């Protein structure tokens, strides 16, 4: 018997299909939730808990509260009102009755039978006549069937009921379009825990556990799913029980350990120690078209001091749109070029690469640096020729898109890589990219320095911890002479007033952007689309003005041409999609009209608005809404009108969208988390970073060599499994 159970023991790495009750088919459904192993299943945490140990009695309910009620089904039925079908169920406890209603819920028709026990959870409200209390749209679970012949429950039923009642019960998100219910998860996870091997490995060093008073992994897994009767419901709901803290910390700790290790490895590599003598300094001074701000001076100092050191720079330069990152990048480029090295400047789009190229020619070519632009739209012959120049070292500054430069460009002597506007570029992708560049530099020469520039203001605590592999510099000051942008929102039934204002701006010699969410009408029916509105605006609304069109599906040549015309002031109005979102810099553009502003994300609106307000003249941003605006939409528009501060906007955006969406986790190449939440768990993240650094600083009296290598092994397995990165560490 004992032998049998030990054979059936589940290891964390066991595939979920071997958990009793799952099997290959359901395992596939679970895989869509990212649940592949027993360990994944056990980290599928309840999103809330119900107190069914002390459920409320109907008579003590108060309007306005959220309550869990356990009661017996009395009767139910579907009512058709003029507006919609309403399903109504009456539940009872002894003589007390409670009405529950669900709108549009025809699917509930045959769901309840009199005599069933149900657990209900929802908001207590007064019914519309102001009379009885009712639960509106409660979540429910049928937890006991009526015994038909009056016989006693079977042992199995009693066991099942014990999971549903008389305790704090975990509630899980369902999966497989509702096929795998919360109740199903409860039973399966219970089974998995029962059969879980008693000796779970402990990958966190004892000293770290002691510092944070962490409980064991096994205890945490049990208690997070099946809290003990005395546990605080509030701590449970906010994921602050010792069990939650152990699991969350563990996840963050191994992410930070990987980042920290990477950072150390980078620091240990041989880089290029650039000379920063007087001739380099005067070369930098020579190009400056204006006095740099104090913030620009400070970040240049930080960059220059990295560049002087004999190990490779890995620095993130953060600065809100328009804060003047480009000139800082050019200054860094000069340091490298004056030291006889080449510089690669990578932009995310062709338009941006193009624009950097124009600025570079204006600022750098005039004083003798050789700048080339490498874009996909060049003729093959021309591309080959440019590549030759780069390989021979004639080209000093190479500007292009990421795709192009990453591919097959050979440099004679690459000293500095500048990655611009990569807010869609996170740690994971950077790891992959840098890995790639490892091979390209010859050992004698040293690893090139890397400067990443981003306009996404990332709340500072998050930046420091998440970009743990990078040093961070922040430009927190705008160039002088800017007047704040006036932002207004109007409904599009007042568009003629807006167009009048556009005419005035144009008459004063300024330029205007008009932005649409989609290119063509048929993409989303009621949305105004760029192409159609371009026709409308150029022919009917502004026949006397010069109107251009820019969108992502145009030929690259044509895009360049339009952009150049706008830059030179040959167009008054540029009708566009979000292709202008990043980096475009036309100081004479003083007005932006964003149609269907309710459709855009907050970060996107902020980026778009950053295209104006770049000169001395007052700039105006008009957020036009068309149709109904959601609650979140209201908050976004409201934030835009209220503030121009990118960090404030980022904080709110993070709050509205949650970290996954905010960073576009996968896309952004940021680690995605099973149990941690970057906003809620900020403090644990900081603690994890500190502890990870301390572990890597060992071994010492607190932490043994064995513990460190055990932690590192676990970390590698975690990174490999979660992010497919083998090369960490």
Binding mask 291-330 for ligand ADP (x = CB under 6 A): xxx--x----------------------x-xxxxxxx---
CA 322 to chain centre: 23
Distance CA 455, CA 324 (A): 10
Task: Please identify, among the stretches 244-252, 262-270, 297-305, 579-587, the one whose residues bind ligand ADP according to the rule CB under 6 A.
Answer: 579-587
Distance CA 17, CA 37 (A): 8
- Give the three-state DSSP class for 584: coil
Least Cβ distance, residue 299 to ligand ADP (angstroms): 11
419 contacts: CB under 8 Å, gap ≥ 6 = 346, 402, 425, 450, 451, 452, 453
Least Cβ distance, residue 369 to Mg ion (angstroms): 19
Least Cβ distance, residue 374 to ligand ADP (angstroms): 20
Residue 587 binding result from ligand ADP, Mg ion, none, given CB thresholds of 5 to 8 Å by partner type: ligand ADP
CA neighbor of 578 nearest in space, from 599, 557, 561, 558: 599
Interface pick for ligand ADP out of 215, 587, 679, 694 (rule CB under 6 A) = 587
662 contacts: CB under 8 Å, gap ≥ 6 = 603, 653, 654
- Compare residues 41 and 317 and give the one whose CB is closer to Mg ion: 317
Residues in the chain: 729
Residue 354 binding result from Mg ion, ligand ADP, none, given CB thresholds of 5 to 8 Å by partner type: none
Alpha helical stretches, state H, 537-673: 556-567, 602-609, 631-642, 646-663, 665-668
- Compare residues 175 and 584 and give the one whose CB is closer to Mg ion: 584
Least Cβ distance, residue 289 to Mg ion (angstroms): 15
User: Phi-psi category of 448—alpha, beta or left, where left has phi over 0 and alpha has psi -120 to 50?
Assistant: beta
142 contacts: CB under 8 Å, gap ≥ 6 = 111, 112, 116, 117, 118
* Cα–Cα separations (whole angstroms), residue 189 to 72, 185, 195: 27, 6, 10
Binding positions for ligand ADP, 325-384, rule CB under 6 A: 325-327
- Compare residues 170 and 583 and give the one whose CB is closer to Mg ion: 583
- Compare residues 477 and 651 and give the one whose CB is closer to ligand ADP: 477
User: 198 exposed, middle or buried (CB, 10 Å; 0-12, 13-18, 19+)?
Assistant: exposed
CA neighbor of 419 nearest in space, from 125, 429, 410, 395: 429
The answer to whether residues 608 and 579 touch, using CB atoms and an 8 Å cutoff, is no
Least Cβ distance, residue 420 to Mg ion (angstroms): 6
Binding mask 610-629 for ligand ADP (x = CB under 6 A): ----x---------------
CA neighbor of 233 nearest in space, from 63, 62, 67, 42: 67
Interface pick for ligand ADP out of 479, 601, 664, 729 (rule CB under 6 A) = 479
- Compare residues 323 and 437 and give the one whose CB is closer to ligand ADP: 323
- The number of C-alpha atoms within 13 Å of 255 and in the hemisphere containing its C-beta is 28
**Residue 414 has which token pair?**
């690459």
The answer to whether residues 182 and 174 touch, using CB atoms and an 8 Å cutoff, is yes
Residue 292 binding result from ligand ADP, Mg ion, none, given CB thresholds of 5 to 8 Å by partner type: ligand ADP
- Compare residues 321 and 537 and give the one whose CB is closer to ligand ADP: 321
Distance CA 64, CA 126 (A): 8
Q: How many residues lie near ligand ADP (CB under 6 A)? A: 19
User: Phi-psi category of 34—alpha, beta or left, where left has phi over 0 and alpha has psi -120 to 50?
Assistant: left
CA neighbor of 315 nearest in space, from 451, 519, 431: 451
Residue nearest to Mg ion according to CB distances in the complex: 583
Least Cβ distance, residue 348 to ligand ADP (angstroms): 12
- Compare residues 416 and 678 and give the one whose CB is closer to ligand ADP: 416
CA neighbor of 642 nearest in space, from 436, 419, 484: 484
- Compare residues 176 and 615 and give the one whose CB is closer to ligand ADP: 615
Task: Please identify, among the stretches 284-292, 331-339, 626-634, 643-651, the one whose residues bind ligand ADP according to the rule CB under 6 A.
Answer: 284-292
Distance CA 355, CA 580 (A): 12
How crowded is residue 495: how many other Cβ atoms within 10 Å of its Cβ?
18
Least Cβ distance, residue 297 to ligand ADP (angstroms): 9
Binding positions for ligand ADP, 443-462, rule CB under 6 A: 455
* Cα–Cα separations (whole angstroms), residue 468 to 102, 137, 208, 651, 670: 48, 45, 19, 19, 11
The secondary structure of residue 536, as a DSSP letter, is I
Least Cβ distance, residue 326 to ligand ADP (angstroms): 3
- Compare residues 291 and 382 and give the one whose CB is closer to ligand ADP: 291
Least Cβ distance, residue 228 to ligand ADP (angstroms): 53
- Compare residues 43 and 614 and give the one whose CB is closer to ligand ADP: 614
Interface pick for ligand ADP out of 79, 103, 159, 290 (rule CB under 6 A) = 290
Least Cβ distance, residue 591 to Mg ion (angstroms): 20
Least Cβ distance, residue 492 to ligand ADP (angstroms): 29
Binding mask 136-165 for ligand ADP (x = CB under 6 A): ------------------------------
Least Cβ distance, residue 288 to ligand ADP (angstroms): 8
Binding mask 45-74 for ligand ADP (x = CB under 6 A): ------------------------------
Binding positions for ligand ADP, 699-728, rule CB under 6 A: none
Residue 689 binding result from ligand ADP, Mg ion, none, given CB thresholds of 5 to 8 Å by partner type: none
Least Cβ distance, residue 362 to Mg ion (angstroms): 15
* Contact flag: residue 568 with ligand ADP (CB under 6 A): no
Q: What share of the chain is helix, strand, coil (3-state, %, to 5)?
A: 45, 20, 35
Report the sign of the C-alpha dihedral through residues 374, 379, 383, 389, in that order. negative
Least Cβ distance, residue 321 to ligand ADP (angstroms): 4
Interface pick for ligand ADP out of 235, 585, 686, 702 (rule CB under 6 A) = 585
- Compare residues 163 and 475 and give the one whose CB is closer to Mg ion: 475
CA neighbor of 138 nearest in space, from 114, 164, 116, 108: 108
User: Phi-psi category of 147—alpha, beta or left, where left has phi over 0 and alpha has psi -120 to 50?
Assistant: beta
Least Cβ distance, residue 655 to ligand ADP (angstroms): 24
By CB under 5 A, name the binding residues for Mg ion: 583
Footprint on this chain of ligand ADP (rule: CB under 6 A): 290-293, 296, 319, 321-327, 455, 479, 583, 585, 587, 614
């Amino acid at each position: 018997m004992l032998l049998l159970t030990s054979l059936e023991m589940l290891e964390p790495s066991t595939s979920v299909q071997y958990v009793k009750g799952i099997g290959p088919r359901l395992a596939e459904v679970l895989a869509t939730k990212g649940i592949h192993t027993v360990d994944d299943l056990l980290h599928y945490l309840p999103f809330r808990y119900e107190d069914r140990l002390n459920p409320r009695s109907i008579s003590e309910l108060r309007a306005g509260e959220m309550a869990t009620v356990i009661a017996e089904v009395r009767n139910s039925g579907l009512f058709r009102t003029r507006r919609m079908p309403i399903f109504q169920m009456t539940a009872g406890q002894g003589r007390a009755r409670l009405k529950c209603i669900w709108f549009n819920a025809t699917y509930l028709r045959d769901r309840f039978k009199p005599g069933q026990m149900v657990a209900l959870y929802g908001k207590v409200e007064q019914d519309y006549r102001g009379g009885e209390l009712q639960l509106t749209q409660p979540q429910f679970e049928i937890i006991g069937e009526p015994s038909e012949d009056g016989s006693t429950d079977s042992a199995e039923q009693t066991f099942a009921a014990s999971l549903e009642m008389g305790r704090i019960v975990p509630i899980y998100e369902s999966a497989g379009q509702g096929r795998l219910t919360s109740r199903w998860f409860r039973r399966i996870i219970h089974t998995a825990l029962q059969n879980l091997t008693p000796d779970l490995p402990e990958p966190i060093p004892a000293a770290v556990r002691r510092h944070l008073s962490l409980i064991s992994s096994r205890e945490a897994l049990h208690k997070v799913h099946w809290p003990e009767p005395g546990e605080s419901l509030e701590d449970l709901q906010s994921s602050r029980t010792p069990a939650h803290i152990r699991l969350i910390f563990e996840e963050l700790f191994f992410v930070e350990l990987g980042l920290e290790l990477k950072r150390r490895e980078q620091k240990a590599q041989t880089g290029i120690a650039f000379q920063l003598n007087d001739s380099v300094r005067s070369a930098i001074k020579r190009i400056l078209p204006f006095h740099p701000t104090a913030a620009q001076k400070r970040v240049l100092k930080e960059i220059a001091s990295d560049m002087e050191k004999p190990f490779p720079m890995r620095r993130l330069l953060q600065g809100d749109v328009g804060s003047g990152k480009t000139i800082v990048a050019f200054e860094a480029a000069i340091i490298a070029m004056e030291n006889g090295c080449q510089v690669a400047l990578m932009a995310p789009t062709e338009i941006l690469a193009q624009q950097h190229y124009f600025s570079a020619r204006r600022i750098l070519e005039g004083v003798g640096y050789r700048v080339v632009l490498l874009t996909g739209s060049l003729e093959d012959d021309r591309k080959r020729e440019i590549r030759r120049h780069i390989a021979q070292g004639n080209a000093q500054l190479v500007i292009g898109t990421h795709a192009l430069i990453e591919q097959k460009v050979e440099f004679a002597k690459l000293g500095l890589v500048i990655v611009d506007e990569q807010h869609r570029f996170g740690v994971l992708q950077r790891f992959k990219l840098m890995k790639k560049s490892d091979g390209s530099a010859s050992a004698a020469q040293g690893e090139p320095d890397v400067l990443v520039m981003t306009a996404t203001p990332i709340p500072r605590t998050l930046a420091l911890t998440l970009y743990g592999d990078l040093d961070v510099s922040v430009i927190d000051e705008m160039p002088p002479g800017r007047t704040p942008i006036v932002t207004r929102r109007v409904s599009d039934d007042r568009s003629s007033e807006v167009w009048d204002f556009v005419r005035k701006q144009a008459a004063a010699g300024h330029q205007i952007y008009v932005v649409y969410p989609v290119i063509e009408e048929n993409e989303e029916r009621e949305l105004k689309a760029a192409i159609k509105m371009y026709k409308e605006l150029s022919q009917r609304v502004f026949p006397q003005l010069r109107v251009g069109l820019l969108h992502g599906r145009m030929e690259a040549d044509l895009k360049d041409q339009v952009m150049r015309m706008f830059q030179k002031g040959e167009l008054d109005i540029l009708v566009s999609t979000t292709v202008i979102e990043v980096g475009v810099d036309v100081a004479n553009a003083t007005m932006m009209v964003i149609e269907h502003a309710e459709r855009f994300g907050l970060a996107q609106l902020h980026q778009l608005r950053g295209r104006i307000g770049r000169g001395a003249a007052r700039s105006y941003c008009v957020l036009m809404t068309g149709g109904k605006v959601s609650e979140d939409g209201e908050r976004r528009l409201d934030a835009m009108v209220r503030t121009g501060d990118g960090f404030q906007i980022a904080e709110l955006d993070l709050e509205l969208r949650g970290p996954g969406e905010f960073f576009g986790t996968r896309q952004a190449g940021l680690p995605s988390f099973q149990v941690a939440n970057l906003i809620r768990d900020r403090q644990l993240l900081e603690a994890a970073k500190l502890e990870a650094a301390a572990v890597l600083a060992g071994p010492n009296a607190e932490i043994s060599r064995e513990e460190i290598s055990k932690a590192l092994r676990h970390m590698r397995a975690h990174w490999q499994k979660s992010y497919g990165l083998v090369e960490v560490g």
